[in-house]
Amino acid sequence: MEVAPGFAHEDLQGQTFASDIPEAIEKAFDYRGDVTLKLRSGETVEGYIFDRRPDAIRLFPKGDPAKRTIAASEILTVSFTGRDTAAGKSWEAWMKKYHEKKAAGEKDIQLVPENLDL
């Protein structure tokens, strides 16, 4: 079976970027967890970035159902504070787990996704 290589995600959890904010925003957009933004106003906003534009980002603030838009020029730091919910969940990892269970003689093997509700 031919397998195409997957996209290798950078381990960003716990990192903070205070320079090259446009690159940090791009990384945050690809991140599968919450980020914390420190703004010029002194406000701190935690949430999941679901859209980015050259001049602004849009995110779902943690604990708030309303979407929020923040100008990129207002962002001082980007911290990757939330757990990357897809870390270690590649197709290869899934298949390895499946084959280990099969080799151990398990029957009716079902690999179900992890509950993401924390």
How confident is the prediction for the chain on average, in pLDDT?
A: 83
> What does the domain layout of the chain look like in residue ranges?
14-106
What global pTM score does this model have? 0.66
Give pLDDT, residue 8.
55
pLDDT by residue (tens digit) across 79-96? Answer: 999 887 666 656 676 778
Compute the distance between CA of residue 49 and CA of residue 84 in angstroms, rounded to an integer: 13
Give pLDDT, residue 79.
95
pLDDT above 90 for 13: no
Compute the distance between CA of residue 61 and CA of residue 67 in angstroms, rounded to an integer: 7
CATH number for the domain running over 14-106: 2.30.30.100
**SS3 category, 23:** helix
